[in-house]
Amino acid sequence: MDRFQKVWELENAAKLVDPQRDALYAYDDAEQKSISNESPWKKDPHYFKNVRISAVALLKMVMHARSGGSIEVMGLMQGKISGDTFIVTDAFRLPVEGTETRVNASDQANEYVVQYLASCRENGRAENAIGWYHSHPGYGCWLSGIDVDTQLTQQMFQDPFLAVVIDPDRTISAGKVEIGAFRTFPKDYQPAASGGGDGYQTIPLAKIEDFGAHASRYYSLEISHFKSTLDSHLLELLWNKYWVSTLSQSPLFTNREYGSKQMLDLSEKIRQAEKNVKAGSRGGQHRFNGQDTQLDKVIRDSNKIAGEEVTGLLVSEFKAKLFNTVGATIAQEDNASKA
């Protein structure tokens, strides 16, 4: 046995793990069962408040979302429950063909899920599926009408269940992962008026109706992510490898298409806002609180776009400052030394 341990380096591998700090990676079947039996979330539609996503799961989901391009993709998440928190430990893709506006699981996908989870269990991973993720390329993280229905069904039959939405296009343009986690309210539940719109986001005009119509049927959860001690060690080492691409890439260039799309959308919104303002001035006693918020939104959108663009420009200016003179200086010195 010692020999066995040594060849496969199990002993050393075990030393890499700090049981205290990496506790989220453990899994207690009995505990999960008892939580599931108690089902505290049945009494309180607002029961779950937080989501913690492991580094691997996050990376897998973002890469999957990005690989879909402008097509929506979908997958499932595995994990466990701890208090009012979903802990997502892993994610896997589903063999589902989405379109540009929707994605839905089919029977074939359900079969796939069953097989996949069975394989996992045989290999000692007892986590259940605790949620699904899908991508909204370019139009922000929220649930559409179809998504709400899907999620509602899942919560009825497979609770606890979580919906995660990722926007790969905005991830690239903003330089940070755009992700949202949601749960729907039961059909007969009327949520108290939500306190504030701190999570403001830009929604394209084509989607805004869909967004507004269902916004009161779900709430979003607080997302944080976690990594193990070994992860952070490896990530530190990785930085040594990929700092070059931080220097060399240009967000303006890679995101040109997305930028133009944003502008087009903005111009359409401005036109609408203008029309409304004009109508309001003619009507006189129009209650224009509504219009004001519309204008406000347009301005926020344009500010956001401007911010992204300026960031991009700064990056390229910065690059030019850093590297453009190098060639010239050296050429000069070369010439000088030759002369």
Partner 1 sequence: MAPTPTSLLSTHQSPSSDLHINLHPLILLTISDYITRHTLRRQETPIVGALIGQQSGRSVSLEHAFECQTVQYNGQILLHETWFKDRLQQYKDVHLAPALELVGWFTTIPVTGPEGAHVPIHQQILHTYNETAVLLAFHPASVLEEGAAVGGKLPLTIYESVYENNEGQGMEVDGAEAPLELRFRELPYSVETGEAEMISVDFVARGGGNATAIDSAAKDTKGQASQKAVGQVDRKGKAVDRESKAVDDSSMLSSEDEERMRPPFHPSLPAMPLLIIEAVIASLTARANAVKMLHARIQLLKAYLTSLPPSYLTTTTTTTDPPSDPTTPPTDAPISEINHPLLRSILALLSRLPLLLPPEHHSTFRQETLAEKSDVELVSLLGSLGRSVKEAREMGRKFGMVEGASRGKGKSGYMSMAGGAMDDVWSQGVNGDGGSGGGSNGEGLSMDGGYAI
Q: Which stretch binds partner 1 (CB under 8 A): 41-49, 154-162, 204-212, 262-270?
A: 262-270
Mark 270-289 with x for binding to partner 1 (rule: CB under 8 A) and - for no binding: xx-xx--xx-xx--xxx-x-
8 binds partner 1 (CB under 8 A): yes
Q: Which stretch binds partner 1 (CB under 8 A): 13-21, 41-49, 140-148, 181-189?
A: 13-21
User: Binding to partner 1 (CB under 8 A): which residues in 61-100?
Assistant: 62-63, 65-67, 75, 82, 89-90, 92-95
Q: How far is the CB of 331 from partner 1 (least distance, A)?
A: 4
Kindly state the tokens that stand for 314.
């700064």
311 binds partner 1 (CB under 8 A): yes
331 binds partner 1 (CB under 8 A): yes
**Interior CA angle at 89 toward 222 and 48, to 5°?**
35
**Interior CA angle at 84 toward 82 and 88, to 5°?**
55
Cα 155 to Cα 312: distance, rounded to the nearest angstrom: 41
Q: Are 199 and 220 in contact (CB under 8 A)?
A: yes
**Interior CA angle at 147 toward 35 and 141, to 5°?**
95
Alpha carbon of residue 233 to chain centroid:
24
Alpha carbon of residue 23 to chain centroid:
24
Q: How far is the CB of 187 from partner 1 (least distance, A)?
A: 33
Residue with tokens 């979903």: 86
Q: DSSP state, 71? A: S
User: Binding to partner 1 (CB under 8 A): which residues in 26-65?
Assistant: 26-27, 52, 54-56, 58-60, 62-63, 65
Instruction: Give the residue with the Cβ less far from partner 1, 25 or 189.
Output: 25
Q: Which stretch binds partner 1 (CB under 8 A): 21-29, 144-152, 184-192, 210-218?
A: 21-29
Task: Name which position in 48, 132, 218, 226 contacts partner 1 (CB under 8 A).
Answer: 226
Instruction: Give the residue with the Cβ less far from partner 1, 66 or 102.
Output: 66
Terminal alpha carbon distance of the chain = 74
Q: How far is the CB of 201 from partner 1 (least distance, A)?
A: 12
Contacts of 260 (CB under 8 A, 6+ apart): none
